[in-house]
Amino acid sequence: MRGNHEKRDYDEADLEVRAPKDHAVGVPAVAVSLTRSFESMGVVRSAETLRELNQAHGFDCMSCAWPDPEPGERSFAEFCENGAKAVAEEGTRTRATPDFFARHSIADLDSHTEHWLGRQGRITHPMVKWPGATHYVPIGWDRASALIGAQLNALERPDQAIFYTSGRASNEAAFTYQLFARAFGTNNLPDCSNMCHESTSIALAESIGIGKASVTLDDVYAAKLIVLQGQNPGTNHPRMLTALEQAKRNGAKILTINPLREAGLVRFKNPQAARGVIGSGTDLSDLHLPIAINGDLALLQAFGALLVEWDALDHEFLDRYTSGFEQWQAHVREIDWEVVTTTTGLSRRRITEAARMLRDSEATVFCWAMGLTQHRNSVATIKEVTNIALAQGNIGKPGAGLLPVRGHSNVQGDRTMGIWERVPQHFLDAIEREFGFDPPRENGCDTVDSIRSMRDGRAQFFLGLGGNFVQAAPDTAVTTSALRKTKMTVHISTKLNRSHLVCGETALILPTKGRTEQDIQAGGAQYISVEDSTCSVHASRGPLTPASPHLESEVGIITRIAEATLGDRYGIDWRGMRADYATIRAHISRVVPGCEGYEVNVRRPGGFVLPHPPRDSRTFETGSGRAEFAVSPIEVLQVPPGHVILQTFRSHDQFNTTIYGLSDRYRGIEGGRRVVFLHRDDIAALGFDDGDMVNLVTRWDGDTCVRRAPSFRIVEYAIPRGCAAAYYPETNPLVPLDSTAIGSNCPTSKSIVVALEPVGAEHSPAPEELGQSDLGADWSHKSVPQLHHLS
């Protein structure tokens, strides 16, 4: 198995560990973002581009899905450091030309790090790797599309093809893409959401009838209490801190629940407020609970027990709108506090203090992200968040509600447009009415199932609309060999990444225009549209000249492939859609619920907000017509002696698999990425010292295979006992493909049971050496992890 450790573009020996920061943003952040932009884009181009970022007439930030303020309330620079980095990454003047691909074989490229690959700049021409070839060579658009169409038509069945999407694709591209896959005959439409907020979508759909946030930005400003659980906004949704600061000024309290005291959670200096730049910043968190990894379900049930005990409940809401409250109440009343305190690593006193904040708030907003979604029991945990919100009537009233904070800038819009392997039948009925063909009705493959399907030889074709599948997916070695078994891999991409080097028999890279770039088609200049975390949909227009005259837009590429594959099957006018995206939006307005009048609404400054029945009218479109309480047993992840629970997270200098640089400034890590954060006492208990080099090792279900990620430096850190943290994607080789969340199939990237082994001691340990035979698979309701101690 290869790991990034073999790839030497920088020396991990240069890694420096400094004291972590206690606050986020401020002057250094602005300086960093501008330096990066100037370096890669030049001064004039940077200034012109950043001026358009997140403005009503400009383009939508392609980094995260945090919403924009109302048009009249936006500042002149409505972006953050990481938004500026994302723009610089796309707007770079560096180019990966056919000449570059002639100089570097695929094997040579594969010897470099992900960071180096990204630094080679924008891909300028469509490229192909022919069967048996060592290099990519240029290919024309017509020939590339014909090749793909021929391969698709040569498959025995449509479900031998996988159509993956990453959440940066526009609504127009996403709608066209799902239409193409379904007209071709498959619902195999996995997306990055399957590895991200899938647990949220499943849990919320079952509990409240819709898998999306029930709040607007105004609710955040009006909240009395904001709970931030399993999320690191200072890095991943930086402008959320501005909203939280505003909420605090309006009187809100903030409760943070995270194994780490992430810089942004504790203190914040707003670079756009004079006070933020010179002053000492805002103390964001009123109470921080340093919870042990995966302790959230137990904590939330303890909150429930206390709210019930204190009768801090909204009885009128419960009677009128919910079902299952009695059973839930009986369940939480029976809570075992010893299980709660050992599982959470928190004392009963601290938990009670936090529950009082809930009790005393008339309007609470609950926010969460990957710290809650990527565990085996994530669906149950998110239903428990919902239970707590329902108990106090915190849904469908001002200043209150559920706010799953989405990742990719348009991941939510892609789902709305039908990128979903399990799309509801009414959506398929609408496709049938609009286009006159009967789309496939059985569910398709999600991400994990797609990997299984390629691994087992069932799927033979992979098309990625953006993303970096091989690095984002779990079990890197398995995913790599699965893709290599296919007849054809195709990637629609802006920049080079590892997935381009893990080739099917034939492989293509189709270079696309990005969000920052102008898109001129036969029908004139086009714009696209996107949806943020709060269901707000608006237009986006790129200001820059495209990186190369040979680029096509995503819609352009998809419609070309569709034409080459389907010809005029069903009479779908792919060419017309390409010429003028208003044609696509007209289809959207007739197919997608809530999108009537799309063309007009989306062009309004600030766009429009999609309907959300619980938010708008406390209507719950569940089986019972009421919001459903869920009863979940507390399961405890067993950690055998000598092991810790590892969470894999993002540094401050990356966007998912795109590594911008080697500075995780807030956590004090500079010049490298192969670090594992551990509690001082665990380092000693495991027989190591701070600074030692170790391999991380997982076993799964008595597999004969030992998964190993080599060469991590131990860094002593303020993290609860029994817990560890290291960066994604270097740790993805450790996540077993079959280790997924119950009900959502989301990989368990936030709770991997690992052992540490000294570098140089690599051997395949016998099961007894690792403690027991089925590590990581062992759950029970009774016992508790041995490494957790009360804080």
Ligand X SMILES: Nc1nc2c(c(=O)[nH]1)N[C@H]1C(S)=C(S)[C@@H](COP(=O)(O)OP(=O)(O)OC[C@H]3O[C@@H](n4cnc5c(=O)[nH]c(N)nc54)[C@H](O)[C@@H]3O)O[C@H]1N2
Residues 651 to 680 in contact with ligand X, rule: CB under 6 A? 654-658
Counting residues that bind ligand X (by CB under 6 A) gives 59
Structure tokens at 88: 């610089």
Our finding on whether 732 is near ligand X (CB under 6 A) is yes
In the complex, the smallest distance separating the C-beta of residue 523 from Mo ion, rounded to whole angstroms, is: 33
Residues 635 to 654 in contact with ligand X, rule: CB under 6 A? 647-650, 654
Q: Which does 55 bind (CB under 5 to 8 A by kind): Mo ion, ligand SF4, ligand X, none?
A: none
Which residue matches tokens 């701070």? 690
Which residue matches tokens 């007894």? 768
Q: Which does 732 bind (CB under 5 to 8 A by kind): Mo ion, ligand SF4, ligand X, none?
A: ligand X
- Inter-CA distances, 621 with 72, 593, 613, Å: 35, 14, 8
The 149-188 contact track toward ligand X, x by CB under 6 A, reads -----------------x-x--------------------
Structure tokens at 765: 């340990």
Residue placing its CB nearer to ligand SF4 in the complex, 60 or 757: 60
**Given candidates 20, 98, 233, 407, which one binds Mo ion under the rule CB under 5 A?**
407
Q: Which does 282 bind (CB under 5 to 8 A by kind): Mo ion, ligand SF4, ligand X, none?
A: none
**Given candidates 50, 196, 228, 669, which one binds Mo ion under the rule CB under 5 A?**
196
In the complex, the smallest distance separating the C-beta of residue 220 from ligand SF4, rounded to whole angstroms, is: 13
What is the DSSP track for 2-32? --GGG--SS-GGG-EE-PPPSSEESHHHHHH
- Determine the interface stretch with ligand X among 35-43, 395-403, 491-499, 620-628 (rule: CB under 6 A): 491-499
Residue placing its CB nearer to ligand X in the complex, 155 or 645: 645
Count Cβ atoms within 10 A of the Cβ of residue 778 and give its class: 0-12 exposed, 13-18 middle, 19 or more buried: middle
Structure tokens at 470: 């091989």
Our finding on whether 473 is near Mo ion (CB under 5 A) is no
Residue placing its CB nearer to Mo ion in the complex, 516 or 656: 656
Write the secondary structure of 276-341 as one string of H (helix), E (strand) and C (coil): HHHCCCEECCCEEECCCCCCHHHHHHHHHHHHHHCCCCCHHHHHHHEECHHHHHHHHHCCCHHHHH
The answer to whether 445 and 421 have CB atoms below 8 angstroms apart is: yes
Angle at 29 between CA 27 and CA 34, to 5 degrees: 100
Measured between alpha carbons, how far is 487 from 160 in angstroms, rounded to an integer? 10
**Given candidates 238, 259, 467, 720, which one binds ligand SF4 under the rule CB under 6 A?**
238
Measured between alpha carbons, how far is 551 from 521 in angstroms, rounded to an integer? 12
**Cβ atoms within 10 A of the Cβ of 434, count?**
15
Measured between alpha carbons, how far is 54 from 65 in angstroms, rounded to an integer? 11
Measured between alpha carbons, how far is 122 from 443 in angstroms, rounded to an integer? 36
In the complex, the smallest distance separating the C-beta of residue 177 from ligand SF4, rounded to whole angstroms, is: 23
- Which residues is 669 bridged to in the sheet? 17, 664
The answer to whether 132 and 507 have CB atoms below 8 angstroms apart is: no
**Cβ atoms within 10 A of the Cβ of 693, count?**
16
What is the DSSP track for 726-791? EETTTTGGGS-TT-B-TTT--B-TT-EEEEEEETT--S---GGGGSSTTTTS-EESS---TT----
Our finding on whether 489 is near ligand X (CB under 6 A) is no
Residue placing its CB nearer to ligand SF4 in the complex, 237 or 538: 237
In the complex, the smallest distance separating the C-beta of residue 126 from ligand X, rounded to whole angstroms, is: 13
**Given candidates 55, 63, 301, 410, which one binds ligand SF4 under the rule CB under 6 A?**
63
**Cβ atoms within 10 A of the Cβ of 604, count?**
12
Q: Phi/psi at 507 (nearest 5 deg)?
A: -135, 140
Counting residues that bind Mo ion (by CB under 5 A) gives 2
Q: Which residues contact 764 (CB under 8 A, 6 or more apart)?
A: 706
Measured between alpha carbons, how far is 386 from 208 in angstroms, rounded to an integer? 8
In the complex, the smallest distance separating the C-beta of residue 60 from ligand SF4, rounded to whole angstroms, is: 8
> 287-289 and 253-257 as β-strands: parallel, antiparallel, unpaired?
parallel
- Determine the interface stretch with ligand SF4 among 3-11, 56-64, 220-228, 279-287 (rule: CB under 6 A): 56-64
Residues 65 to 94 in contact with ligand SF4, rule: CB under 6 A? 66, 79-80, 82-83
Which residue matches tokens 């047993």? 633
Our finding on whether 650 is near ligand SF4 (CB under 6 A) is no
**Given candidates 515, 538, 643, 673, which one binds ligand X under the rule CB under 6 A?**
515
- Determine the interface stretch with ligand X among 244-252, 290-298, 310-318, 593-601 (rule: CB under 6 A): 290-298
The 148-167 contact track toward ligand SF4, x by CB under 6 A, reads --------------------
Our finding on whether 86 is near Mo ion (CB under 5 A) is no
The 184-223 contact track toward ligand SF4, x by CB under 6 A, reads ----------------------------------------
The answer to whether 671 and 96 have CB atoms below 8 angstroms apart is: no
Q: Please count the helices (runs of H) and the strands (runs of E) in the chain.
A: 32, 36
In the complex, the smallest distance separating the C-beta of residue 231 from ligand X, rounded to whole angstroms, is: 4
Residues 406/407/412/418 CA torsion (nearest 10 deg): -140
Residue placing its CB nearer to ligand SF4 in the complex, 82 or 516: 82
Write the secondary structure of 364-382 as one string of H (helix), E (strand) and C (coil): EEEEECHHHHCCCCHHHHH
Our finding on whether 260 is near ligand X (CB under 6 A) is yes
Q: Which does 416 bind (CB under 5 to 8 A by kind): ligand SF4, Mo ion, ligand X, none?
A: none
Q: Which does 294 bind (CB under 5 to 8 A by kind): ligand SF4, Mo ion, ligand X, none?
A: ligand X
Q: How far apart are the first and last CA of the chain?
A: 39
Structure tokens at 520: 């001129």
**Given candidates 472, 551, 588, 646, which one binds ligand X under the rule CB under 6 A?**
472
Measured between alpha carbons, how far is 240 from 555 in angstroms, rounded to an integer? 31
In the complex, the smallest distance separating the C-beta of residue 355 from ligand X, rounded to whole angstroms, is: 16
**Given candidates 151, 186, 229, 377, which one binds ligand X under the rule CB under 6 A?**
229
Our finding on whether 480 is near ligand X (CB under 6 A) is no
Structure tokens at 236: 């991943």
Residue placing its CB nearer to Mo ion in the complex, 304 or 466: 466
Write the secondary structure of 129-150 as one string of H (helix), E (strand) and C (coil): ECCCCCCCEECCHHHHHHHHHH
Residue placing its CB nearer to ligand SF4 in the complex, 61 or 454: 61
Residue placing its CB nearer to ligand X in the complex, 167 or 640: 167
**Given candidates 23, 112, 125, 239, which one binds ligand SF4 under the rule CB under 6 A?**
239
Q: Which does 466 bind (CB under 5 to 8 A by kind): Mo ion, ligand X, ligand SF4, none?
A: ligand X
Residues 75 to 104 in contact with ligand X, rule: CB under 6 A? 82
Contacting positions for ligand X (CB under 6 A):
63-64, 82, 166, 168, 192, 195-196, 229-232, 235-237, 257-260, 262, 291, 293-294, 296, 369-371, 407-408, 465-469, 472, 492-495, 497, 512, 514-515, 554, 647-650, 654-658, 728, 731-732, 735, 749-750
Contacting positions for ligand SF4 (CB under 6 A):
54, 61, 63-64, 66, 79-80, 82-83, 237-239
